[in-house]
Amino acid sequence: MVFSSLLFLFRFLPIVFLIYYLVPFRLKNTVLFLASLFFYTWGEPKFFPIMLVSIGINYIAGLLMERYDQKPAARKVCFGLAFAVTLGFLLFFKYTNFFLSNINALFGASLPLLPASTFHLPLGISFYTFQILAYTIDVYRRKISVEHNLIDFGAFVALFPQLIAGPIVLYPDISRELKSRKITLAQVDEGVGLFIMGLASKILLADTVGALWSEVQTLGFANVSTPLAWLGVLAYSFQLYFDFSGYSLMAIGLGRMLGFYFPQNFNYPYISKSVTEFWRRWHITLSSWFREYVYIPLGGNRVKKSRHFLNLFAVWFLTGFWHGANWNFIFWGLYFFVLLMIEKSFLLKRLEKSRILSHVYLIFLVMISWAIFAVSDLSMLGELFSRMFSLKAFSAAGAADWLYYLRDYAGILVLCVVASTPFFKRLADSKLGRNRLLRTVFLSGLLLASVAFMVDSTYSPFMYFNF
């Protein structure tokens, strides 16, 4: 079940919210927990026990670490077991075939791979694993109090708005609201607005502009001109952004309607003027997680320069590998590591001198990164890059193919450019945007248009479900 489906919008959501608003507060977390388990089970029934085991083991580990507070060895064993089992699930399902296939390729072995039909990646495991691990690590560090209520802990892990693709919500973010929260009409109204904006980002922008990237893939990278290759990558860049930021916005809106304040996950990353700034604005909760639970424990920047280099290398290697069990994701992470090291060394101060050139620099490098990210087959990735950087392909007969596609997609591309800036936010915050009637008409129009597209389109899951 996905947010951008008629089943979710017109069946699951109304029923769950009706029950949630009617029951007394002491039962609200129970309703949330059960509804979230149903939401997850609908999409991944055979992997449902894995989530329950992860919840149960980490809940018990927290209680035991509190019980053995004065016994460091016992606490360490409890933490280690919970950490190993929880991370083990992620490693097994996401990376086993990657390691087996690379062993076979390197050593000429013939180790059998796990059948993809049975052992595919469980939905959301990359996200909820990080949430659970953060809780267990923080309990072990004595940074947070142990959650004694199993229902509240289960609701924290399995909250359906952010369960599948984030934002990554840490226990301290919502611990107070799990115990006591108020739900006002103003909150619900704000949440509905955020949800509709996120839905429109996914349906009207991401899915529409993504069709251009799909057409370029169908043509084959060897058969497109240089301009069309860049146009396709630009389309993918917008598709990925509006798909993922749209999901995050919908999750934040649903959370607001339920009385929770989830952290911001995107802050107009494409207006950045450096790679450093870009990663302060893109997938903010993931960057924060790696900084808190990998970079700082390794020593951060309070170490020798060589060790600092290794710390950053580890973070970006893991960031790339977290996104997928393919070499292109590792190369993507290391690509950003190299760029960030260059900026930290000397380039960042120079970029600050020119707003226009620094922005062009950022967009150019980010588009290259999304090309690496988008194509898992390295031979096909090589074809794509040969087209993107080939003067011969630029001037070949048929190089005007991009004009044909630009004619069809110019409108949506311009709209994506505008929507990736704070223009609409500033408009919403203006006197005109605060007019209640205009706001209602605008949001209603977006919702109707989104639903119309959903009725007329095929199944289109969020892209980050794959990661």
Model confidence pLDDT, tens digit, residues 14-24 = 999 999 999 99
pLDDT score recorded for residue 121: 84
Could you confirm whether 359 is annotated as catalytic?
Answer: no
Classify 326 in phi/psi space as left (phi over 0), alpha (psi -120 to 50) or beta. beta
User: Does the structure show a pLDDT above 60 at 447?
Assistant: yes
- List pLDDT tens digits, range 302-353: 888 889 999 999 999 999 999 999 999 999 999 999 999 999 988 988 888 8
Of 241, 236, 246, 271, whose CA–CA distance to 409 is shortest?
236
- List pLDDT tens digits, range 348-399: 888 888 889 999 999 999 999 999 999 999 999 999 999 999 776 555 545 6
pLDDT score recorded for residue 400: 79
d(CA 231, CA 215) in angstroms, rounded, equals 11
Mean pLDDT, the chain, integer: 92
Mean pLDDT of 38-66: 92
User: Does the structure show a pLDDT above 90 at 71?
Assistant: yes
pLDDT score recorded for residue 353: 85
pLDDT score recorded for residue 215: 95
pLDDT score recorded for residue 429: 85
CA distances, 354 to each of 277, 319, 362 (Å): 15, 30, 12
Residue 465 pLDDT grade (very low, low, confident, very high; cuts 50, 70, 90): low
Active-site residue, from 148, 283, 323, 359: 323
User: Does the structure show a pLDDT above 70 at 461?
Assistant: no
Residues 6+ apart with CB under 8 A from 195: 249, 250, 253, 254, 257
- List pLDDT tens digits, range 88-109: 999 999 999 999 999 999 988 8
Radius of gyration of the chain (CA): 23
Q: Say what percent of the chain tops pLDDT 70.
A: 96
Of 300, 387, 298, 386, whose CA–CA distance to 344 is shortest?
300
The amino acid occupying position 437 is L
User: Does the structure show a pLDDT above 90 at 119?
Assistant: no
pLDDT score recorded for residue 397: 47
Q: Say what percent of the chain tops pLDDT 90.
A: 76
- List pLDDT tens digits, range 193-235: 999 999 999 999 999 999 999 999 999 998 898 999 999 999 9
